């Protein structure tokens, strides 16, 4: 299980909104980008809608509920051809936390 410090994220969001944006120290687009960077720490993508474009290792969840790292091989997920192995339903690219 991933350990996410939601309180630190909440504090960072409040700081962006109160100290920077409201005090006119930051342009609207910059404040929006900072908030989107916080949001993008974890963002699940359904394979029904998109598969990755770049061949890389991603954090995945399969139809059996297992979460772990798998490699996207341009047209399929590594291990999906093995009998009994779960089919990937969701994936995400993990970025380092901002806080």
pLDDT tens readout for residues 2-20: 455 656 766 776 676 666 6
Pair (35, 54) in one structural domain: no
Pair (79, 55) in one structural domain: yes
Pair (33, 57) in one structural domain: no
Per the structure, the count of domains in the chain is: 2
If one compares 81 and 4, the residue with the highest pLDDT of the two is: 81
Pair (53, 31) in one structural domain: no
The span from the CA of 60 to the CA of 82, in Å, is 16
Q: Dig out the tokens for 28 from the structure.
A: 């609207």
Domain membership of residue 95 as a residue range: 44-99
Mean pLDDT of the chain: 75
pLDDT for the residue 83: 78
C-alpha distances in Å from residue 96, one per residue of 18, 23, 39, 40: 24, 28, 12, 10
pLDDT digits (tens, 9 = 90+) for 48-57: 888 888 898 8
Pair (20, 49) in one structural domain: no
Pair (32, 58) in one structural domain: no
Q: Is the pLDDT of residue 45 over 50?
A: yes
Pair (17, 51) in one structural domain: no
pLDDT for the residue 72: 93
């Amino acid at each position: 299980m991933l350990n996410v410090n939601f309180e630190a994220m909440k504090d960072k969001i409040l700081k962006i909104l109160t100290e920077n944006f409201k005090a006119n120290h930051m342009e609207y687009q910059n404040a929006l980008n900072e908030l989107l960077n916080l949001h993008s720490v974890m963002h699940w993508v359904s394979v029904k809608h998109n598969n990755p474009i770049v061949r890389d290792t991603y954090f995945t969840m399969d139809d059996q509920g297992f979460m772990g790292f798998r490699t996207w091989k341009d047209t399929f997920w590594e291990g999906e051809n093995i009998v009994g192995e779960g089919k990937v339903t969701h994936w995400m690219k993990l970025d380092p936390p901002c806080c």
